[in-house]
């Protein structure tokens, strides 16, 4: 197990960030990207902490949650200026020129030699005009001050290339954790418990990861899952007087725990609705209209067999013959019992364009940005590697209840488009 400054498996990214922040004129834009819960925020926070401790009053930084401020340019500018110094937002407008002047003045008045602005969930910035985003990325040049911009996103930099920012930034990738890494991360935060049982926590951690690895690699979710079910395991062993040293008995207990873990995982979405990032259900209900259609399309793609797409989403499909694979799908367990399946991006686009009410406008949208937003909220999970840009694959992580409520908002009959519920 490799550990550095309280972080696991992110030594390279941490050292690179520290070097860039401490080296004069090294770069003005840094792009950190990777899946949700891949250590981006923790690594950046640690790099900023170390830099601030060394530079003291010369250094200032702030973190902007783009989810909270993407509704207007004025709100974004106000959040940045307020984050640097309270009381500096008098007369904030939505003019980029005015904002740049105010930022230059605030930095000059306080004598900061270096300012770092972190844009978390930076894919939400792509909802703004490209000229505004390009200006944010050029703050070092426009203010004539040492301003470093760090963008944090689930998207690689290629998705930001439409902003008009011509100079490629330093890009720092945060690869997804492997199974073994996730197990080590769980072991790094063992809960309290009897010593004779904690000695078997490594087996338990492996069981947790093995059970949900195909649908979740989110460290926060896995930690929550492990910690909430561990007391149940301890209680079961104590109540039945199970000998933890007996391999056969212990293996039987692991088997009985697996369904419990799977059931607990189904409730994870609701637990993390109340996270510090804001209630996910409220965020879902506040999604742009076309993002709601996209979420519905993703849910249908995850829970319907692909062969049923023509039946559900083509208006003039004619009478569809009962293909043998359709019969096989009917005879299997309900998709809502088995869980969401992975689907390719092309299939998502097909369903989306069939159900959306304004196809002409929808075809012009930057769908990659909308998908990234849903992914950053935990409603979608990217099942393919970050580098696989030609054929990305996803899995819908939203619950039926959530998608039903979104469907009602836009007047879409979800249940009649789901294979498990529609009359056959």
> What interhelical angle do 345-355 and 289-303 show, nearest 10?
120
For 68, phi then psi, to 5°, come to -85, -20
Cα 251 to Cα 46: distance, rounded to the nearest angstrom: 40
Q: Are 221 and 311 part of one and the same domain?
A: no
Query: For residue range 318-372, what is the model confidence (pLDDT) as tens digits?
Result: 555 545 444 444 555 678 777 789 999 999 999 999 998 766 666 556 787 788 8
236 plus 382 within the same structural domain: no
Q: In this structure, is residue 169 part of a structural domain?
A: yes
DSSP per-residue letters across 104-154: HHHHHHHT-SEEEEEEETGGGGGGS-HHHHHHHHTHHHHHTS-EEEEEEES
- For the residues 119-129, what does the mean pLDDT come to? 90
Do the domain assignments include residue 34? yes
Higher pLDDT, 165 or 59: 59
Domain boundary residue among 174, 202, 219?
174
Are residue 202 and residue 249 in the same domain, yes or no?
yes
Q: Into how many domains does the chain fold?
A: 3
pLDDT of 284 reads 54
Do residues 213 and 141 both lie within one domain?
A: no
Q: Are residues 286 and 384 in the same domain?
A: yes
Beta bridge partners of 343: 394
Average pLDDT, the chain: 82
In a domain, 167, yes or no: yes
Question: Are 167 and 189 members of one domain?
Answer: no
pLDDT value for 152: 96
Same domain membership, residue 238 and residue 153 = no
User: Are the CB atoms for 9 and 179 separated by under 8 Å?
Assistant: no
CATH number, domain of 43, equals 3.40.50.300
> Percent of the chain scored above 90 by pLDDT?
42
Tell me how far the alpha carbon of residue 409 is from its chain's centroid: 24
Higher pLDDT, 387 or 201: 201
Domain boundary among 128, 146, 174: 174
Predicted confidence at residue 335, as pLDDT, reads: 80
Residues 133 and 163 sit within 8 Å (Cβ to Cβ): yes
pLDDT digits (tens, 9 = 90+) for 14-41: 999 999 998 877 789 999 998 888 999 9
204 belongs to a structural domain:
yes
Are residues 400 and 347 part of one domain?
A: yes
Domain assignment present for residue 274? The answer is no
User: What domain range is 55 assigned to?
Assistant: 3-174
How much is the pLDDT for 324? 41
Position 271 in a domain? no
Q: Report if residue 324 sits inside a domain.
A: yes
- Residue where one domain finishes, among candidates 149, 174, 199: 174
Residue 387 pLDDT more than 60?
no
Is residue 288 domain-shared with residue 255, that is, in the same domain? no
- Residue 187 falls within a domain, yes or no? yes
Tens of pLDDT, residues 240-290: 666 666 777 677 777 778 888 877 766 665 455 434 343 345 455 567 888
Are residues 161 and 31 part of one domain? Answer: yes
Confidence of residue 214 (pLDDT cuts 50, 70, 90): confident
| Stated pTM of the model | 0.72
Which distant-in-sequence residues (6+ apart) come within 8 Å of 51 by Cβ?
Answer: 18, 21, 22, 59, 61, 116
Same domain, 18 and 146: yes
Residues 153, 247: one domain?
Answer: no
């Amino acid at each position: 197990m490799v550990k550095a400054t309280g972080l696991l498996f992110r030594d390279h990214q941490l050292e690179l960030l520290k070097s860039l922040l401490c080296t004069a004129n090294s770069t003005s834009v840094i792009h950190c990207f990777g899946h949700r819960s891949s250590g981006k925020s923790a690594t950046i926070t640690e790099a900023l902490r170390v830099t601030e401790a060394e530079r003291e009053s010369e250094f200032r930084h702030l973190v902007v949650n783009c989810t909270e401020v993407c509704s207007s340019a004025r709100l974004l500018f106000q959040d940045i200026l307020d984050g640097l110094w309270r009381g500096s937002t008098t007369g904030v407008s939505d003019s980029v020129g005015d904002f740049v002047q105010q930022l230059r003045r605030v930095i000059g008045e306080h004598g900061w030699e270096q300012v770092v602005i972190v844009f978390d969930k930076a894919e939400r910035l792509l909802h703004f005009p490209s000229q505004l985003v390009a200006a944010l990325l050029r703050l070092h040049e426009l203010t004539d001050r040492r301003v470093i911009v760090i963008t944090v996103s689930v998207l690689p930099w290629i998705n930001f290339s439409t902003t008009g920012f011509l100079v490629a930034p330093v890009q720092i990738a945060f690869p997804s954790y492997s199974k073994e890494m996730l197990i080590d991360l769980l072991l790094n935060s063992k809960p309290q418990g009897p010593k004779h049982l904690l000695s078997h926590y490594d087996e338990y951690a492996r069981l947790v990861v093995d059970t949900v690895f195909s649908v979740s690699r989110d460290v926060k979710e896995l930690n929550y899952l492990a910690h909430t079910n561990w007391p149940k395991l301890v209680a079961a062993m104590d109540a039945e007087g199970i000998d933890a040293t007996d391999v056969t008995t212990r293996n039987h207990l692991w088997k009985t725990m697996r369904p419990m873990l799977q059931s607990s995982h189904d409730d994870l979405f609701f637990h993390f609705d109340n996270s510090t990032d804001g209630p996910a259900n409220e965020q879902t209900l506040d999604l742009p209209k076309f993002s709601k259609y996209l979420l519905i399309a993703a849910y249908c793609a995850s829970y319907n067999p692909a062969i049923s797409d023509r039946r559900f989403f083509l208006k003039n499909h004619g009478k569809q013959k009962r293909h043998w694979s359709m019969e096989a799908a009917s005879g299997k367990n309900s998709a809502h019992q088995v869980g969401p399946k992975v689907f390719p991006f092309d299939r998502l686009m097909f369903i989306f364009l069939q159900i959306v009410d304004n196809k002409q406008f929808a075809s012009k949208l930057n769908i990659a940005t909308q998908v990234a937003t849903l992914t950053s909220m935990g409603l979608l999970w990217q099942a393919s590697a970050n580098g696989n840009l030609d054929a990305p694959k996803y899995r819908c992580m939203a619950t039926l209840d959530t998608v039903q409520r979104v469907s009602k908002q836009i007047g879409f009959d979800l249940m009649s488009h789901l294979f498990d519920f529609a009359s056959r």
